[in-house]
Amino acid sequence: MRAYLPSYELISPARLQDALDVLGKEPGVWRPFAGGTDLMVLLEAGKLPHKNYLNIWNLKELRGVEVTDQHVTLGALTTYTEVQQEKVLQQAFPMLCRAASETGGLAIQNRGTLGGNIVNASPAADSPPALLAYDAELELVSLEGARWVAYHRFHTGYKEMIIRPEELLTRIRLPRRTEKLRHYYRKVGTRKAQAISKVCFAGTARVRNETIEDLRVALGSVAPVPLRCVKTEDALRGSELTQTTIDRARAVMADEIVPIDDIRSTSNYRHQVSLNLLADFLQQLRA
């Protein structure tokens, strides 16, 4: 059943300071509304219990891309279309562009934002594994000031996060790495387009003389939160790329992930696919 629209309120501040004033004066009363691609689905289905929204779409402070030698910093309102068009992201952070290109269809890509994807906190979302593998950091801002937090510390449980009701996610910062990295991203879903992931895998690695000097592995849909597989990484770092290493890494990952059964897939399938993707990633590093 559709929601009864007059019972909702949406206000549209023109500046970040005005938005923070609203959030700070009545913490928890107003919730951010960015592209609305997650919120509108709930509204249409009559499943949006919260009634007061703060439209942040017009806040210029949450837009744009800043590039320095150390970082690429994206406004939280950066859309998937903008991610795909950004040259520096194509070169240095290709998995983020790939995730953006495989998120929804064109309409969703024009309107859905990276910030919304992060704070919506679905464990099946497609950009979080890439953001985790790239060691992203988030800027959270309130009237009290700004704080930067490591993205891998942001999600604390299913749909639970460290962001406070009076804070906005304003920017996403990606550290630029100078060394040559290999990148591996796979979204496994029912179809190639317009499908929510069954499993989503992002990995980066630095390999020299057939030895893994460093790597990062992150997965979606295998835990209550987007998961950085630290134990699997630790087991692989410094190892030679042999079949024995690959088998050992699969065993470590099998213990580290805890996928569930739901309407999109089964725990067993997600387990198998995750281990196969890890093996494929490592095989490709060998090649």
- Confirm or reject binding of residue 115 to ligand FAD (CB under 6 A): yes
- Confirm or reject binding of residue 36 to ligand FAD (CB under 6 A): yes
The encoded tokens of residue 37 equal 């691609």
CA angle 174, 176, 179 (to 5 degrees): 145
Identify the sign of the CA torsion 89, 285, 178, 76.
positive
Residue among 154 and 282 whose Cβ is closer to ligand FAD: 154
Coil/strand/helix, residue 30: coil
Q: Report the residue from 32, 129, 203, 226 that binds ligand FAD according to the rule CB under 6 A.
A: 32
Residue among 80 and 282 whose Cβ is closer to ligand FAD: 80
Q: How many residues bind ligand FAD (CB under 6 A)?
A: 27
- Confirm or reject binding of residue 76 to ligand FAD (CB under 6 A): yes
Q: What is the DSSP string of 230-280?
A: HHHHHHHTT-B-SHHHHHHHHHHHHHH------SS--HHHHHHHHHHHHHH
**Whose structure tokens read 């057939």?**
210
Residue among 33 and 205 whose Cβ is closer to ligand FAD: 33
Q: What's the one-letter identity of residue 239?
A: S
Residue among 5 and 287 whose Cβ is closer to ligand FAD: 5
Q: What is the smallest separation between the CB atom of 12 and ligand FAD, expressed in angstroms? A: 13
Q: What is the DSSP string of 114-136?
A: HHHHHHHT-TT-SHHHHHHHTT-
- DSSP state letter for 60: G
Residue among 55 and 90 whose Cβ is closer to ligand FAD: 55
Q: Report the residue from 108, 149, 235, 252 that binds ligand FAD according to the rule CB under 6 A.
A: 108
Q: What is the smallest separation between the CB atom of 42 and ligand FAD, expressed in angstroms? A: 8
Q: What is the smallest separation between the CB atom of 80 and ligand FAD, expressed in angstroms? A: 7
The contact set with ligand FAD (CB under 6 A) reads 31-39, 41, 56, 76, 103-104, 108, 112-113, 115-117, 119-120, 125-126, 168-169, 196
